[in-house]
A and B are shown apart, each in its own frame.
Chain A
Amino acid sequence: MFKTIAQSAKKALSLKKDSIFRLLVVMTALLGWVTGVGAGGLSGLENLYQQWQLEQKSKISVYLLADSDAEKISQMKGDLRALLGVEDVGVLATEKTEELLAPWFEGEKNFPLPIVLEVTVDRILDRESFDGLIHRDFPEAEIDDARSLLVAVSRGVRFAQIVTIGFAVVMFMVMALLVSLTVRAGLRGKMHSLAILQYVGATDRFIVSLVTRQVMVQSIKGWFGAAVLSLLSVFAVQHWLQAATPYISEVVWASVVVVPFVLVFIATVSAWMTSYHFVRKARP
Chain B
Amino acid sequence: MIQLHQVSYQYNPHEPAALSDLNFTLEDGSFHFLNGPSGAGKTTLFKLMYMDLKPVSGTLTLFDRNVANLTREEIAHTRRRMGLVFQDFRLLDHLNVRENVSLPLSLHGKMTKSQEKCVDEILDWVGLGDKLNAHPNCLSGGEKQRVGIARAVVNRPKILVADEPTGNVDDAMGQRIMHLFTELNKHGTTVLLATHDQSLIRSFNYPVIHLDKGKYVKTASIYK
Contact = CB atoms under 8 A, between A and B. Distances in A.
Interface of A: 3-12, 14, 192-193, 195-206, 280, 283-284
A5 B106 contact: yes
A12 B103 CA distance: 8
B92 A201 contact: no
Interface in B66-95: 72-73, 75-77, 79-80, 82, 84, 90-92, 94-95
Given A6-B102, A284-B51, A201 B110 contact: no
Given A12-B95, A196-B92, A283-B52, A203 B102 contact: no
Nearest to A195: B90
Nearest to A3: B109
27 contacts: A6-B109, A7-B106, A8-B95, A8-B106, A9-B103, A12-B92, A12-B103, A192-B92, A196-B90, A197-B103, A197-B107, A198-B76, A198-B79, A199-B50, A199-B84, A199-B90, A200-B79, A200-B84, A200-B104, A201-B76, A201-B82, A201-B107, A203-B76, A205-B73, A206-B107, A280-B72, A284-B75
B99 interface: yes
Interface of B: 50-52, 72-73, 75-77, 79-80, 82, 84, 90-92, 94-95, 98-100, 102-107, 109-111, 151
Contact of B76 (A3, A8, A12, A202): A202
Contact of A200 (B75, B107, B111): B107
A229 B107 CA distance: 39
Given A9-B107, A193-B94, A196-B90, 6 more contacts: A6-B110, A9-B106, A11-B94, A196-B91, A204-B76, A206-B76
A198 B84 CA distance: 12
A204 B107 contact: no
A201 B109 contact: no
Contacts of B99: 7-8, 11-12
Contacts of B105: 6
B92 A204 contact: no
A21 to B, nearest CB: 14
